[in-house]
């Protein structure tokens, strides 16, 4: 029969500890909550009170239940208060020597049968366990931040953890309403091993002024549907904690350079910029511990101000191409009130694109998103042509032809001859250097990338790519156009993958490598990212949707341009592509979709 946990101890009431106390107390379990000093204890108590008050205010917790919850928590300074608990979870800062000292002390204080658990994110549970005389009763119980909200718990067993202890802890997780994945002791377990390389990379982009903090975060939220951008997430995790996790993962996880903390992180930690908990990290918060971001000197000006920054007036837009992206982009511009000239390579293609745009607009009418009059007006704004000469008087051209550099360069050379001066020339390329296309013209200052996401009418994000020759006016124009389309334009440099793909695909590739190493299953890895990090899809679900061939091609580009050894495509991904398992489109990828 599973062990009954009626009283648990929590050591350290910081970002994680306070949340873990709440999880237990909410589920009717008595908690002894321990800190190192009276002031720290007070902070922990205040964090718990703040969180439960917010839950009451949001109607997620009855006031009476809140009071009962608080009655279950007994606060104390020092580990001696833990003499009769059934389980202890340690959540002190991420330092091995500190954790080892605490475990040695817990071993002395607690009853012999008490299970000792660590909430470490990256340290070796095994190394922590050997500080006690009961390593078989030591286990990792890794909660996610914020602990009361995130459903996932990673249960980490070492080679000596007893199977009964694992089973008891799994049963406890179920009682707490959590979903657990049980895994072996490896740096970063599942979720952090996949998350922290990405977070560090995002900090590197910010440090290199590749894009602003707002743009990096907006890109990942709007481009991938993530609940938070990476820099906002670093602030939530705490930069000191994140630094220690990266540092440990670097040392334990095979010295992968991608885990070597970006120098800026160390500087921020030293300067006391720890994120939300200190009131300032990548963003500035109302006060310490507050989730409310307030403007600071780095907050960008409102869009109108940016428009005053030299953005040119755009009324007529040319769209070149006849594929999925061109079709979507024509629709987006026409719906937003622009006059659109569509240019394809023949009237037959034009007729097809016209049909596709009509079908899509009609769907909008059926779904009640568009009136018939709006549909007709949008269609009325589009003219269909098979010759570039009709682009002589447009203000902006968006190119969305095949992803081949020679074709795009030839097209831009023609546009250079045909278009009037001052026109902004945009390419939707997702993988080619924009500067190559720009240099096919005599006006590289007017050339930008406008990287729409598929399906263009739905996806709210556009990456505005500026090359080293792009003028500030052309960038401002592109950004203003995105805003007029009702989309968020994020500005970034001209590097492989821009923001979204550069941050997304290495993470997907790492998930494949994790699967290949048999550390976990595709199901558990997908679970971990969805329930631990709030991702809308797990990496294997997403790879099957995007297409394994497309993913492999993007990953190869990133690897070739950045020469980062950690970006080398996972052999398993290559093999699946070779075998013709490309994802949903071939009914088989990481999963078999033939019956769905
Ligand atoms: N922050 C996250 O998002 C996150 C997520 C999952 C796991 N973790 C892990 O949880 C652990 C705690 O991280 P955190 O972010 O909550 O850190 P934190 O700095 O917010 O809190 C640590 C707390 O431990 C207390 N403490 C220090 N020494 C102590 C001692 N000797 N006895 C009792 N209390 C002591 C400190 O006063 C502080 O309140 C780390 O191992 C971390 O890796 C963190």
pLDDT in tens, 548-573: 999 999 999 999 999 999 999 999 99
Using the atom order of ligand 1, give the atom closest to the CA of residue 13. 39
Q: Is 142 a catalytic residue?
A: yes
- pLDDT at 254 (0 to 100): 81
Pairing of strands 447-452, 461-466: antiparallel
pLDDT of 517 strictly over 70: yes
Candidates 51, 119, 121, 342; catalytic one:
121
Candidates 192, 322, 509, 551; catalytic one:
192
- Residue bearing the CA closest to ligand 1, atom 27: 92
Residue 595's pLDDT band, with cuts at 50, 70 and 90, is confident
pLDDT of 304 strictly over 60: no
Three-state secondary-structure class, residue 490: strand
Q: Which of 9, 10, 11, 12 to mutate to test the pocket of ligand 1 (most atoms within 8 A of CB)?
A: 12
From CA 114, how far away is CA 127, in angstroms rounded?
19
- Residue bearing the CA closest to ligand 1, atom 44: 16
φ and ψ at residue 141, rounded to 5 degrees? -125, 100
Q: Judge whether 102 and 90 are in contact, CB under 8 Å.
A: yes
φ and ψ at residue 132, rounded to 5 degrees? -110, 170
From CA 509, how far away is CA 79, in angstroms rounded?
43
Q: How far is the CA of 158 from the centre of ligand 1 (A)?
A: 21
DSSP 287-338: STT---EE--TTSPPPHHHHHHTTPPP--EEEEE--SHHHHHHHHHHHHTT-
- pLDDT at 25 (0 to 100): 97
Q: Judge whether 511 and 525 are in contact, CB under 8 Å.
A: yes
From CA 539, how far away is CA 543, in angstroms rounded?
6
- Measured over the CA atoms of residue 468, residue 472, residue 473 and residue 478, the dihedral's sign is positive
How many H helices and E strands in the chain? 24, 18
Chain segment 175-203, per-residue pLDDT in tens: 999 999 999 999 899 999 999 999 999 99
Residues 6+ apart with CB under 8 A from 523: none
- pLDDT at 309 (0 to 100): 75
Using the atom order of ligand 1, give the atom closest to the CA of residue 122. 43
Q: What is the mean pLDDT of residues 279-290?
A: 95
Q: Directed axis angle between helix 213-224 and helix 230-237, to 10°?
A: 110
Task: Give the tokens for residue 197.
Answer: 């390389």
94 pocket-lining for ligand 1 (C-beta < 6 Å): yes
Candidates 35, 142, 145, 331; catalytic one:
142
Instruction: Find where tokens 């970002």 sit.
Output: 15
Chain segment 54-113, per-residue pLDDT in tens: 999 999 999 999 999 999 999 999 999 999 999 999 999 999 999 999 999 999 999 999
Q: Judge whether 400 and 326 are in contact, CB under 8 Å.
A: yes
Residues 6+ apart with CB under 8 A from 234: 199, 202, 203, 242, 275, 281, 282
pTM comes to: 0.92
**Helix intervals (H) in 208-254:** 213-224, 230-237, 239-252
Three-state secondary-structure class, residue 237: helix
Three-state secondary-structure class, residue 73: strand
């Amino acid at each position: 029969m599973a062990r009954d946990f009626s009283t648990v101890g929590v050591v350290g009431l910081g970002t994680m500890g306070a949340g873990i106390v709440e999880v237990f107390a909410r589920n009717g379990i008595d908690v002894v909550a321990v800190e190192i000093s009276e002031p720290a204890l007070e902070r922990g108590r205040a964090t718990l009170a703040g969180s439960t008050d917010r839950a009451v205010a949001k109607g997620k917790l009855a006031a009476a239940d809140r009071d009962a919850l608080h009655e279950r928590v007994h606060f104390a300074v020092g580990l001696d208060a833990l003499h009769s608990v059934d389980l202890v979870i340690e959540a002190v800062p991420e330092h091995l020597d500190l954790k080892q000292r605490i475990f040695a002390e817990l071993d002395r204080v607690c009853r012999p049968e008490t299970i000792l658990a660590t909430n470490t994110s990256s340290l070796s549970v095994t190394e922590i366990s050997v500080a006690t005389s009961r390593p078989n009763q030591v286990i990792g119980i890794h909660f996610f931040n914020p602990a009361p909200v995130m459903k996932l718990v990673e249960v980490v067993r070492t080679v000596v953890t007893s199977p009964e202890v694992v089973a008891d802890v799994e049963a406890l997780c179920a009682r707490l309403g959590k979903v657990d994945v049980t895994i072996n002791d490896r740096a970063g377990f599942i979720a952090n091993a996949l998350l922290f390389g990405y977070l560090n990379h995002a900090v590197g982009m910010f440090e290199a002024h590749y894009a602003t903090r707002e743009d990096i975060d907006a890109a990942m939220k709007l481009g991938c549907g993530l609940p938070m951008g990476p820099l906002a997430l670093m602030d939530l995790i705490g930069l000191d904690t994140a630094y220690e996790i990266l540092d440990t993962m670097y040392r334990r996880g095979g010295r992968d350079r991608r885990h070597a903390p970006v120098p800026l992180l160390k500087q921020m930690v030293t300067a006391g910029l720890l994120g939300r908990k200190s009131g300032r990290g990548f963003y500035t918060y109302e006060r310490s511990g507050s989730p409310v971001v307030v403007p600071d000197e780095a907050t960008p000006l409102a869009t109108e101000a940016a428009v005053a920054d030299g953005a040119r007036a755009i009324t007529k837009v040319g769209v070149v191409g006849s594929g999925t992206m061109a079709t979507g982009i024509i629709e987006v511009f026409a719906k937003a009130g622009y006059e659109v000239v569509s240019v394809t390579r023949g009237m037959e293609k034009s007729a097809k694109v016209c049909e596709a745009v009509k079908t899509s607009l009609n769907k909008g009418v059926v779904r009640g998103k568009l009136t018939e009059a709006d549909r007709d007006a949008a269609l009325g704004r589009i003219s269909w042509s098979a010759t570039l000469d009709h682009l002589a008087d447009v203000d902006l051209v968006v190119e969305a032809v095949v992803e081949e550099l020679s074709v795009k360069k030839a097209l831009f050379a023609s546009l250079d001859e045909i278009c009037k001066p001052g026109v902004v020339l945009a390419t939707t390329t997702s993988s080619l250097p924009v500067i190559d296309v720009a240099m096919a013209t005599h006006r590289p200052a007017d050339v930008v990338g406008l990287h729409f996401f598929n399906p263009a009418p739905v996806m709210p994000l556009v990456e505005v790519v500026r090359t080293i020759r792009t003028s500030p006016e052309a960038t401002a124009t592109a950004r203003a156009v995105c805003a007029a389309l009702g989309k968020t334009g994020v500005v970034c440099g001209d590097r492989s993958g821009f923001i979204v793909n550069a941050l997304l695909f290495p993470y997907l590739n790492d998930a494949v490598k994790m699967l290949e190493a048999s550390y976990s299953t595709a199901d558990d890895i997908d679970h971990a990212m969805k329930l631990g990090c709030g991702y809308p899809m797990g990496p294997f679900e997403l790879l099957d949707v995007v297409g394994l061939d497309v993913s492999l091609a993007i990953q190869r580009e990133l690897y070739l341009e950045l020469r980062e050894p950690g970006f080398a495509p996972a052999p398993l991904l290559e093999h699946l592509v070779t075998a013709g398992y490309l994802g949903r489109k071939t009914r088989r990828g990481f999963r078999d979709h033939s019956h769905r």
